[in-house]
Structure 1
Amino acid sequence: MQLFVDNLTVIDCSLLTSEKGITGESFNVDLILGGNLNDESMIFDFGLVKKAIKKIIDDEVDHKLVIPSHNKGLKVNDCGINQQVDFSYADSKHVFLNSPKQAFVFMDTDEITKDTIKQYLEEKILKLLPSNITSIELNLHHEVIDGASFRYSHGLKKHYGNCQRIVHGHRSRIKILHNLERQAHLEELWCERWENIYLGTEEDIVALDCVSLSPSALQHINDAYVIFSYIAPQGKFDLAILKNEVEILPVDTTIENISDYVANQVAQLHDLDNVKVHAYEGIGKGAISS
C-alpha cells in the first residue's frame, strides 16, 4: 500500500557544478511512502508527514550550497566551525568560499543533479521513519513557467533564518508589465542577464585581507574577482567570485529590493512610465514593485 503527498515542500538551494559553477535551483517535492498499516490503520499520519519529512528536507538541503564531494575540482579545508571550499570549474574558473558548516551539504558524487539530491534525501528520510514504512520515493520537479526563467544565488546578512547563508539560490520567473500589459521581450532580456548570476550587495564588498579564505584562494584571487564578506547570526561568511558572474545591487538582495531594482532599471533603460514588476523568489512567492 502507498501514501502520497503532492507539493509537500519546495527546496531552494544552490549547486556547485563543473559546467556552471554556482547555480540556483528551486524544486517542488512530491512524496510517495510505501508500507504496512500501523495501529491507527494508517501508513503515516498526514500531519506528521508534512511536519517530520518537510523538516528533514529543510535541515538537509534547503537554503544550502550542495557540493559534489568527489568532484576533482573540489578542495575543502576543515576550520572547526567553518569550512573553506575551493572549486574549479569550466575552463579553469574558480569560486572560493568560507562559511559555517551548516551552510554546506556534501553528497557522494562527482556531479550534483536532481537525481543525486533525490537519492540523498530518500536515504536520509527512510532511516528516520517508523518501521512499518518500507519504501520512499521523492519526485523533484521544476515549476512550469509560462515564459522565461532564471537562476540566481545570493545571501542576506541581516536575516535571522537560513537566508543569511551567503550562497543559496532560486530558480525564478519574472513578470514585467508596462501600462498593465505584459512585456515578454523584457522578461527574456532580464532572464538572459541574470541566468546563473550571483546578486551581491555593494556594502558587503571587502578587500582580500578581510576574509578567511584558504591559502590557495588568497594566492589565486586577482582583479577578475569580487569579494563579499559579512558576519551574520550563524557566523562569518566569505565569497570570492568572478566579476562577470555577479551583478552588484546598491541594497540588500531581498526579493522586495530586487523587484524595486528591476522596476527602476526597466523604467530608466527603456524610458518607460507605469512599469510594474512581479519578481519571484523561487516558487509561488515574491514581491511587486511599481
Structure 2
Amino acid sequence: MQLFVKDLTVIDFSYCCSERGIVGESWIVDVLLDGSLNDMKMVLDFAVVKKQIKAIIDDAVDHKLLIPEQCSSVQVSESTFHKEHEFVDLAASRAQYYLQSPACAFAKLPASEITISSVTDYLTTIILAQLPNNVAGLELTLRPEKIDSDFYHYTHGLKLHDGNCQRIAHGHRSKIELFHNDNRSTDLEHFWCHRWQDIYIASEDDRVSKQHIQLSENAHSKLLDSHHYFAYQAPQGRFDIAVETKVLEVVDCDSTVELLADYIARQLKLQQPQDNFTVIAYEGVGKGAIAHA
C-alpha cells in the first residue's frame, strides 16, 4: 500500500558549490510512503506525515548551509572562538568565502557535490530511521518551482530573527515581478535577476572590520583586499562571513523580503524619479512582499 503527499513542504537553504560558490536554493518536497497498514488501517496518519516528516526535513536541511564533505574546495573545522561553532572555508572558482557559525547552521552531506540526488539520499536515510516499522519504503521528490520568467539565487542572514532565518548563510531561489508605470517590465526583471544571480546580500549595519572578524587561521592567511566582513550575535550564537565584492550586494537595510522589495523600488525610483514602480519580490516559493515607489 502506498500513501502520498504532494507539496509537503519547501526547503530554503544554501549550498557550497566548487564552481558557483555559495548558492541559495528552494526545493518543493513530495513524499511517497510504501508499507503495510497499521492498527488504524493506515500506512501512516496524514497528520503525522505532515508534521513529523516535515519537522525531520526542516531540522536536517532547511535554512542551513549544505556542505559536500567529499569536495576538496571546502574545509570544515571546529571554531577556536566558541564552543559548538564551526569554521567553513570555501575556495570556489567564482569566489572565496569564509564563515563561522553555530554547528547547527551547517548540514554536512557524504557527497562530492550538492545535488537533488545527494540531498534526496541524505534525507531518505534520516527520515526512514525515524518512521514506524510498518513503513517499508520512502520516495522523496525534490523539485524546483517551475518559473517561466527570470529568477535569481541569493543567500543572506537575518540577525533579528529568533528562528532559523538568523543563520548567516541560508538562501532562496526566487522570481520577481517589476512594473514600470503599471506595465510589467521583463527588461528590469532580467537586469535584477542577472545582478543578483548567486549573490550574497548583506546589511551595511552588520559590517565589521577585518580585525574584528572571527575566522579560521586558514581563512586569515588567504583573505583578499576584495573581501568584505560581516558579523553579528544572534540567539543561536555568533555568525561571521567574509565575502568578495564580485558576489556581494550590500544593502542599507535588513535583508527581509519586505525590505529587499523596498530597496529595489527605491533604486528604480532614484534612476527615474518621475516614474512609478511596483516591486513584487518573492522569498522562495509562493511567498513574498510588494513595494511601491
Same fold (TM over 0.5): yes
Distance 2:180 2:246 in 1: 29
276-285 or 174-183: bigger deviation: 174-183
Normalising by the residue count of structure 1, what TM-score does the alignment of the two structures yield? Answer: 0.97
1:30 matches 2:30:
yes
Which of 253, 256, 261 is the equivalent residue of 1:254? 256
Q: CA RMSD in A?
A: 1.1
Deviations 1:24-56 (A, max 9, x none): 000010000000011111000001100000000
SS in 2 for 1:241: strand
Aligned counterpart, 1:98: 100
179-188 or 48-57: bigger deviation: 179-188
Aligned identity (percent) is: 46
Distance 1:134 1:272 in 2: 63
SS in 1 for 2:33: strand
1:83 matches 2:86:
yes
Query: Are the equivalent residues in 2 in contact too, given 1:178–1:272 (CA < 8 A)?
Result: no
Amino acid of the structure 1 residue aligned with 2:276 = N
Query: Are the equivalent residues in 2 in contact too, given 1:65–1:168 (CA < 8 A)?
Result: yes
Residue 179 (structure 1) shift: 2.8
1:143 matches 2:145:
yes
Amino acid of the structure 2 residue aligned with 1:85 = V
Amino acid of the structure 1 residue aligned with 2:112 = D
Aligned counterpart, 1:214: 216
Which of 160, 163, 168 is the equivalent residue of 2:162? 160
Amino acid of the structure 2 residue aligned with 1:224 = S
Matches within 5 A, 1:128-139: 128-139=130-141
Distance 2:133 2:226 in 1: 54
Aligned counterpart, 2:282: 280
Amino acid of the structure 1 residue aligned with 2:37 = L
Deviations 1:39-75 (A, max 9, x none): 1110000011000000000000000000001111222
Aligned counterpart, 1:12: 12
Residue 267 (structure 1) shift: 2.1
Query: Are the equivalent residues in 2 in contact too, given 1:23–1:196 (CA < 8 A)?
Result: yes
SS in 1 for 2:70: coil
Distance 1:158 1:235 in 2: 12
Aligned counterpart, 1:74: 74
Structure 1 residues 259 and 137 mapped into 2: Cα distance closer, same or farther (>3 Å)? same
Amino acid of the structure 2 residue aligned with 1:138 = L
SS in 1 for 2:43: coil
Distance 2:220 2:51 in 1: 43
Deviations 1:215-251 (A, max 9, x none): 1111211311011111011100000111110000011
Residue 146 (structure 1) shift: 2.5
Normalising by the residue count of structure 2, what TM-score does the alignment of the two structures yield? Answer: 0.96
Query: Are the equivalent residues in 2 in contact too, given 1:208–1:218 (CA < 8 A)?
Result: no
Structure 1 unpaired stretches of 5+: none
Distance 1:145 1:266 in 2: 24
SS in 2 for 1:145: coil
Runs of 4+ in 1 over 3 A off after TM superposition: none
207-216 or 118-127: bigger deviation: 207-216
Aligned counterpart, 2:3: 3
Matches within 5 A, 1:146-225: 146-225=148-227
SS in 1 for 2:147: coil
Residue 252 (structure 1) shift: 0.5
Residue 272 (structure 1) shift: 5.2
Distance 1:43 1:196 in 2: 41
Amino acid of the structure 1 residue aligned with 2:2 = Q
Structure 2 unpaired stretches of 5+: none
Amino acid of the structure 1 residue aligned with 2:87 = Q
Aligned counterpart, 1:230: 232
Amino acid of the structure 2 residue aligned with 1:225 = H
Amino acid of the structure 2 residue aligned with 1:3 = L
172-181 or 145-154: bigger deviation: 172-181
Which of 258, 264, 267 is the equivalent residue of 2:266? 264
Amino acid of the structure 1 residue aligned with 2:18 = S
Query: Are the equivalent residues in 2 in contact too, given 1:14–1:24 (CA < 8 A)?
Result: yes
Query: What is the aligned length?
Result: 289
Distance 1:194 1:270 in 2: 21
Residue 270 (structure 1) shift: 4.1
Deviations 1:127-183 (A, max 9, x none): 100000001011111111121010000000011000000000000000001232211
